[in-house]
């Protein structure tokens, strides 16, 4: 098999994995862990010198940075019988790029802080006030997306695209934030994204890779 996706699904590797499942791609999943220095071996650093997952290896074409991996796969592959996840014109491309970059630059840091201090870290290490502050800082950005979604069901174009994956994969981390009900269009869109079969499959993979 020539397409490989490195990274356990309970990580940002879920982004390219989500694209692969939406498109029904044949790929090899290498469930590379990231804890305990696992991404700092010479072998892994040859794939990604930053020492992070995910990495996509498309027959020797190496892609790292999770959003780049998702955007690359969506542009490179068309699913059998599936509608394209990639842009079909320049206007859609502009939407896909701007919202994907928006998710990582305007939302990801605070969304991750919220996730870690509200949900993911062991309770004794959580600082609840950090989760509250991060959620508060996110409000203006969430308001921008709420307005964008007022008269549309998807982030870009008239259908589900890779932009929905890039943005939903970040905002999933704050799905349970108290402020969400203030943003009903965003909350409804996020719920629909996370209910997609491909996303459910990736979450099942993630559960298998998370020690209980
Ligand atoms: N901006 C990068 C961040 C990648 C990243 O930090 N990945 C984490 C897992 S979600 C990782 O590999 N951490 C291991 C480490 O930094 O040593 C991306 O989006 O791909």
pLDDT for 150 beyond 60: yes
Q: How far is the CA of 197 from the centre of ligand 1 (A)?
A: 25
CA distances 161 to 52, 76, 157, 199, Å, are 25, 14, 8, 13
Predicted pLDDT at 77: 94
Average pLDDT of the chain to the nearest whole number: 95
Architecture of the domain delimited by 90-196: Up-down Bundle (1.20)
Query: What does DSSP assign to residue 38?
Result: G
- The string of pLDDT tens digits covering residues 68-114 is 999 999 999 987 666 799 999 999 999 999 999 999 999 999 999 99
Q: How far is the CA of 182 from the centre of ligand 1 (A)?
A: 31
Question: What band does 34 get if pLDDT is binned at 50, 70 and 90?
Answer: very high
Beta strands in 32-174 (DSSP E): 55-58, 61-64
Dihedral angle, C-alpha 66, 70, 76, 79, nearest 10 °: 150
Q: Which has the closest alpha carbon to 19: 66, 70, 64?
A: 70
- The string of pLDDT tens digits covering residues 160-187 is 999 999 999 999 999 989 999 999 999 9
pLDDT for 38 beyond 70: yes
Residues 6+ apart with CB under 8 A from 93: 87
Q: What is the spatial distance between Cα 159 and Cα 103, in angstroms, rounded to a whole number?
A: 19
Q: How far is the CA of 79 from the centre of ligand 1 (A)?
A: 27
The ligand 1 atom at the shortest distance from the C-alpha of residue 65 is 20
Average pLDDT, integer, range 108-128: 97
Atom 5 of ligand 1, residue of closest alpha carbon: 52
User: Domain 3-84+199-209 belongs to what topology?
Assistant: Glutaredoxin (3.40.30)
Atom 4 of ligand 1, residue of closest alpha carbon: 52
Atom 16 of ligand 1, residue of closest alpha carbon: 52
Predicted pLDDT at 80: 66
Atom 11 of ligand 1, residue of closest alpha carbon: 52
Neighbours of 148 (CB within 10 A): 18
pLDDT for 211 beyond 90: no
Residues above pLDDT 90, as percent of the chain:
93
Predicted pLDDT at 130: 98
Average pLDDT, integer, range 27-56: 97
Predicted pLDDT at 83: 76
Predicted pLDDT at 81: 66
- Read out DSSP for 175-201? TT-TTGGG-HHHHHHHHHHHTSHHHHH
The ligand 1 atom at the shortest distance from the C-alpha of residue 35 is 14
Domain boundaries, the chain: 3-84+199-209, 90-196
pLDDT for 212 beyond 70: no
CA atoms within 13 A on the CB side of 30: 17
Q: What is the spatial distance between Cα 107 and Cα 167, in angstroms, rounded to a whole number?
A: 9
Q: Which residue(s) pair with 63 in the sheet?
A: 56
Predicted pLDDT at 78: 84
Residues above pLDDT 70, as percent of the chain:
97
- Furthest CA-CA distance within the chain: 50
- The string of pLDDT tens digits covering residues 132-141 is 999 999 999 9
């Amino acid at each position: 098999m020539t397409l490989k996706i490195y990274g356990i699904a309970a990580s940002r590797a879920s982004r390219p994995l989500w694209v692969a499942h939406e498109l029904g791609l044949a790929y090899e999943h290498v469930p590379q862990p990231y804890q305990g220095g696992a991404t700092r071996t010479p072998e892994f650093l040859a794939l990604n010198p930053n020492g992070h997952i995910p990495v996509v290896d498309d027959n020797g074409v190496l892609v790292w940075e999770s959003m780049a991996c998702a955007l690359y796969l969506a542009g490179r592959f068309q699913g059998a019988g599936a509608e394209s996840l990639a842009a079909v014109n320049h206007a859609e491309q502009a939407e896909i790029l701007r919202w994907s970059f928006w998710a990582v630059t305007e939302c990801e840091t605070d969304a991750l802080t919220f996730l870690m201090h509200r949900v993911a870290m062991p309770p004794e290490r959580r600082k609840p006030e950090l989760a509250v502050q991060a959620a508060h800082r996110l409000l203006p950005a969430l308001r921008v997306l709420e307005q964008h979604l007022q008269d549309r069901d998807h982030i870009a174009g008239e259908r589900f695209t890779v932009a929905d994956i890039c943005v939903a994969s970040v905002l999933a981390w704050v799905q349970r934030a108290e402020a969400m009900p203030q943003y009903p269009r965003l909350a409804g869109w996020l719920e629909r994204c996370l209910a997609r079969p491909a996303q459910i499959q990736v979450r099942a993979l993630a559960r298998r890779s998370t020690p209980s």
